[in-house]
Amino acid sequence: MKLRLRSERAEDEELPFAFMLITLMASCGVSPYESFKRLRFVDLLPFIQKESNEIVRRVEVLNIDPLSAMQERAEETISENYGDFLRGYVSTVKSGGSVTNYLKSKLKSIFDIRAAAAVRSIERLETLVEAYMAVLLVLMSVYILIAVVSLSSFSATLGFVFNGQILVYLVLFFFMPLASVVFMAFAHLSRRGTLINIKRIYLKAIPSAIMGLAMLLGVFLVPEIREAFVSSISSIQETINATLPFIHIGSLLNYVVPIITMLSLSLVSIFPAIEYSRIIKVNLKAEESIPSFLRDVSENRKTGMPPEKSMFQAATRKGYGVFGEILKRIVNQIEWGVPLRSIFTDLKSRLRSWPVLMDFLILIETIEVGGGPAEALDLLASYSEKIRDIEKNKREMLKPYVILPFIWTILMALTFTFTFYVVTHLPTIGVSGPALPTLESQMALFSCAIIFQSWLSGFFIGKVTQGAFAAGFKYSILLSFTALVSLLLSQNIIDLVMGIL
């Protein structure tokens, strides 16, 4: 059911662009059925492409008239908005109404619906983030409860012995990562990004993961590497002590395993994070600039300029940033006489923003079918601005939620450290022997769980705020580092308090 809902939302995302393309072609004198024939070759709209193939198949192969074929698909399609569009078009043609006015009215309606849906989706995502934070805090509360009940003095008061070590491992190593994975799945169902064809970002994580795993195994299995790593940690600790004397010499040495874990996880994320930053820089600027470019093309056409000349003139405007380099390449190709279709193919290899690619595709289709009349281009520019505003508002409204994962990471680290020290060190005050090294190894192991959990949270918040898990590589590095620093600081705070006591 959830996958079906996801599919329906993906289809509804295509409808505004498909309706815009059909409307612009109608303003150029092309009937919707002819538009559907052209839409068969638009692979950026897979749902509309499939529907177009079905309508054309029924007309060309089964010899059904176009209106009847559209009426049949209106009753069979899984998209309610698409079915309503087809039924309205058939009714308008049969009643002798203005098809162009109907298409423009429907286009305005679908964008109003999309704007309202964007607001609702933001509210759902805000609730999802808050619920995720609440679940993590509940799991930490369960950890505290298990740890306190496991105290020998508390168990003696209750009259039974309770060993909750297994439950502690389950909470930290199973239930918390599972909660992150579940909420990431919900975020995937609720948030669609604007970037396409970014699999290579995830593929870059594979060699990084191999290197991170090799580093982790090398430190644990090769004594020479482990000794060199510990020596480096000691040197760093001495430098810290020279500048921050209140941090004890044992802080970093007791956290060798968590430090290795943090570095390994960061190594997995760093190269994909760099690649994503490079891609998003260009595509985000393109999304912000494409409405201005289309508006300039429209205004130039109103003066009587040819479409290609209008694009050339619009591309010379300053202020496009890195997107301006792509526009210059397009202008050069136009001057060399490269066909618009070939120019668009080259553009697809350089941009990953789906709305920007759709705007260029619609511009090219409009020029090819009717020379790009000023009215049609003005309509394209207006709705491109609406799309830009919708996506920009969504990003701005979700931006404050980037702070929340850092807050809950710090809270988890502090809560875990204080609880662990209370339930393990207080009963062992004045006790010597092998118990304390065992406690230190448990502390290091549980700290790794907190760091890994924080690393996972980065992908959740990346998907929520920017619509792509690839955006989470940057946040995963920052959050895992935040978790490690919080664990170190909380350890020193509790050591200072214990020393005073």
Structure tokens at 334: 């136009």
Residue from 80, 22, 77 nearest 55 by CA: 77
pTM of structure: 0.84
Render pLDDT for 281-322 as a digit per residue (tens, 0 to 9).
889 888 888 888 888 888 888 887 877 788 888 887 777 888
Cα–Cα distance, 405 to 411 (Å, whole number): 10
Q: How far apart are CA 376 and CA 21, in angstroms?
A: 10
Average pLDDT of span 210-224: 77
| Domains defined for the chain, CATH in brackets | 2-97 (no CATH), 282-396 (1.20.81)
Q: Which of 83-92, 143-152, 158-167, 426-435 has the least mean pLDDT?
A: 426-435
pLDDT of residue 160: 52
By the 10 Å C-beta count (0-12 exposed, 13-18 middle, 19+ buried), 477 is classed as: buried
Gap between the Cα atoms of 341 and 35, Å rounded = 17
Model confidence at 240, pLDDT cuts 50, 70, 90, reads low
Non-local (6+) Cβ contacts of 18 within 8 A are: 39, 45, 48
At 402-419, the pLDDT tens digits run 888 898 888 888 888 887
DSSP state at residue 175? I
pLDDT tens digits, 192-210? 888 888 888 888 888 888 8
137-172 as b/e: b if 16+ CB within 10 A: eebbebbbebbebbbeeebeeeeeeeebeebbebbb
Per-residue pLDDT tens for 474-494?
999 999 999 988 888 887 777
Q: What pLDDT is attached to residue 327?
A: 86
Render 227-248 in DSSP notation, one character per residue.
HHHHHHHHHHHHHHHHH-TTS-
- Token pair 């043609």 is at which residue? 93
Work out the pLDDT band at 77, boundaries 50, 70, 90: confident
pLDDT in tens, 326-359: 888 888 888 888 888 888 888 888 888 888 898 8
Q: CB neighbours of 489 closer than 8 A, spacing ≥ 6?
A: none
What is the band of 498 on the pLDDT scale with cuts at 50, 70, 90? low
Of 416, 400, 401, the closest CA to residue 484 belongs to 416
With beta carbons less than 8 A apart as the criterion, state whether 458 and 416 touch: no
